Amino acid sequence: MLALASLSGAADAAWARAGIPHADLAVLGGIAIDDASRSAAEGLIARGREEFLPADPLAFVDDQLAALDDAPIRAGMNVRSTTLGPVRRAAQLCATHDAVLEINAHCRQDELRAVGCGETLLRDTDRLARYVAAASDADATVSVKMRTEVDGVDLPALASRLADAGADALHVDAMDSEAVVAEIAAAAPDLFLLANNGVRDRRTAWEYLGYGADGVSVGRASDDPAVLRRVARATADWKRRSKNSAPRSPVTPDRGPEVIR
C-alpha cells in the first residue's frame, strides 16, 4: 500500500487527486481545528511556514473530503487539537465521508508543543488515548501520526495502549530509527502500520515493509510522479513477493483492517 502523507498548507483535495494514479490513500492536512492550535498555526505562518488556516476549519474538513467522495482513492484528514470536542466532530465528518481521521501527535514546532498538541501528545498518553477513543466512538477509522526518537517515549508500549483505545492504524515517521517499526508491529499486531521518512524507491520502501509495515507513505516528494511510480511499483512487487515466500518479519504485509486499504 502507498499513502500520500499530509503536508501542512499543501495537502488538499487537488493534491490528493494528482496522486490517484499511484496511491491508495491520501491524508490531507494537517489542519489546526481548535482555538489554541489555530493560534499556534498563526505563529507558524508569521515565520514563513505554509499552513491551512480557513475561517472555519471543520467546514474546510467537510468540503475537502466531499471533493474526494467520488475519487478512486481513500481520503484521510490529519488534525491538530489541544481539546477533545473538535477531534470528535472531525471524526464524525470523516465517518460521513468514509475517510480516515488521523490524529496529529507528530508535529514538533515550538509553537505547537507550547500549546500542547503535535508531538506533545506522545508524552500525554492519557489525553491521546481519549482522543482516539472519542474518534473511534464516532465510527471513524482512526490513525495516529507519530514520530520516533522522542525522549522518554516508549513507542511500542504506546502503540499497544492506542490499540486498546480503539485505534485502527499508526502512521510512523521513523526518522533515523527504521528498525523501531518492527518493535511497534510486534507490540500492536492488529493495527495497520504505515511507515514514513525518506521513502523514495524500492530499497527504502522494502526496508520498512521488511520490518513489518503494511504500507509506506511519501510526504515531501508526494508531488513528484516519478517517485510515486517507483514506490507504487515497489509496494506492488512486495505484495506479490510476500504471497510466494515467508515474510521477513513476524508481521506479514497483508495483515491489518481492510478499512484502511
Q: What is the C-alpha to C-alpha distance for residues 69 and 59, in angstroms, rounded to an integer?
A: 15
CB 10 within 8 A of CB 52: no
* Nearest-10 Cα torsion for 88, 183, 188, 209: 90
Q: Which residue has the cell 467537510?
A: 62
C-alpha distances in angstroms, 83 versus 28, 116, 118, 128, 171?
20, 9, 12, 10, 21
Dihedral sign for Cα atoms in the order 51, 175, 170, 137: negative
Long-range contacts of 54-59 (CB under 8 A, 24+ apart): 57/31, 57/32, 57/33, 57/86, 58/33, 58/86, 58/89, 58/90, 58/93
pLDDT at 261: 42
For residue range 89-107, what is the model confidence (pLDDT) as tens digits? 999 999 999 999 999 999 9
Position 252 pLDDT exceeds 50: no
Q: Residues in the chain, how many?
A: 261
Q: What is the mean pLDDT of residues 182-195?
A: 96
The residue type at 259 = V
With cut-offs at 50, 70 and 90, classify the pLDDT of residue 251: very low
Q: Which residue has the cell 511500542?
A: 156
Position 231 pLDDT exceeds 60: yes
pLDDT at 247: 44
Q: What is the mean pLDDT of residues 248-256?
A: 34
For residue range 35-91, what is the model confidence (pLDDT) as tens digits? 999 999 999 999 999 999 999 999 999 999 999 999 999 999 999 999 999 999 999
Of 171, 162, 175, 97, the residue nearest 136 (C-alpha)? 162
To the nearest whole number, what is the mean pLDDT of the chain?
92
Cis peptide before 30 (omega within 30 of 0): yes
Position 176 pLDDT exceeds 90: no
Assign residue 29 a region (left: φ > 0; alpha: ψ between -120 and 50; beta: otherwise): left
The residue among 242 and 139 whose pLDDT is bigger is 139
C-alpha distances in angstroms, 125 versus 82, 128, 131, 132, 233?
13, 5, 10, 10, 37
pLDDT at 248: 39
Tell me 191's DSSP state: S
Of 96, 109, 93, 15, the residue nearest 56 (C-alpha)? 93
Position 244 pLDDT exceeds 90: no
User: Domain coordinates of the chain in residue numbers?
Assistant: 2-260
Position 260 pLDDT exceeds 90: no
With cut-offs at 50, 70 and 90, classify the pLDDT of residue 256: very low
pLDDT at 245: 64
What percentage of the chain has pLDDT greater than the value 90? 89
Quote the radius of gyration of the chain (alpha carbons, Å): 17
Tell me 52's DSSP state: B
Architecture of the domain made up of 2-260 = Alpha-Beta Barrel (3.20)
Q: Taking the mean position of all CA atoms in its chain, how far away is CA 207?
A: 19
pLDDT at 175: 84
The residue type at 123 = R
